[in-house]
């Protein structure tokens, strides 16, 4: 299990969450309520991932199932389709929010929503070019 990359990532997430929470509780950072929430969220993600890895490692049937599923082309296709659908839904929802906020006079929120759409479209274009060269 220790050779597993996710194990190390989980440990780093747990450590980062604890450090962020300690900084928030000590009062070193401003707006400690928000920082505490962020630190606790990172800590929780790390703990859940670590518990999942331990559960998989101690259950041979589950380990075999996870290994098979990760190599299965059907799951890769489903994952790709889910990401594609999430991308489309996000663009549509944020686009509607952007227009709605602009019409209601919330210019800052509308601009932020528009910038998030632009950033996502830019990332898509860059990653498409990189992956097109790779494959």
What does the pLDDT read at residue 79? 85
Tokens representing residue 132 in the block: 């097109």
Q: How many CB atoms lie within 10 A of CB 92?
A: 11
Q: Residue 66 sits in which domain range?
A: 5-71
Q: Express each pLDDT in 40-81 by its tens digit.
A: 999 999 999 999 999 988 988 988 888 887 788 888 888 889
88 and 120 part of one domain:
yes
67 and 35 part of one domain:
yes
78 and 37 part of one domain:
no
What does the pLDDT read at residue 63? 86
62 and 92 part of one domain:
no
93 and 113 part of one domain:
yes
80 and 32 part of one domain:
no
| Spatial distance between the Cα atoms of 75 and 56, rounded to a whole number of angstroms | 18
Give the SS3 label for residue 51: helix
Q: Express each pLDDT in 11-32 by its tens digit.
A: 999 999 999 999 988 888 777 7
Q: Which residue has 């509607």 as its token pair?
A: 96
Chosen domain end from 71, 86, 106: 71
What does the pLDDT read at residue 2? 43
Chosen domain end from 71, 96, 118: 71
Q: Which residue has 């992956």 as its token pair?
A: 131
Residue 1: which pLDDT band, with cuts at 50, 70 and 90? very low
> Which residues have a Cβ under 8 Å from the Cβ of 9 and sit 6 or more positions away?
49
Chosen domain end from 26, 48, 71: 71
96 and 39 part of one domain:
no
Q: Express each pLDDT in 90-118 by its tens digit.
A: 999 999 999 999 999 999 999 999 999 99
């Amino acid at each position: 299990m220790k050779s597993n990359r996710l194990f190390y990532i989980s440990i780093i997430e747990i450590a980062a969450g604890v450090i962020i929470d300690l900084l928030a509780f000590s009062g070193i950072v401003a707006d400690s309520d928000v920082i505490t929430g962020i630190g606790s969220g990172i800590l929780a993600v790390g703990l859940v991932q670590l518990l999942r890895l331990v559960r998989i490692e101690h259950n041979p049937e589950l380990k075999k199932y996870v290994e098979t599923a990760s190599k299965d082309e059907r799951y890769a296709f489903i994952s790709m389709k889910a990401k594609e659908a999430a991308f489309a839904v996000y663009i549509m929802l944020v686009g509607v929010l952007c227009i709605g906020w602009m019409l209601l006079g919330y210019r800052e929120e509308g601009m932020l929503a528009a910038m998030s759409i632009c950033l996502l479209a830019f990332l898509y274009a860059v990653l498409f070019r990189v992956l097109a060269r790779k494959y």
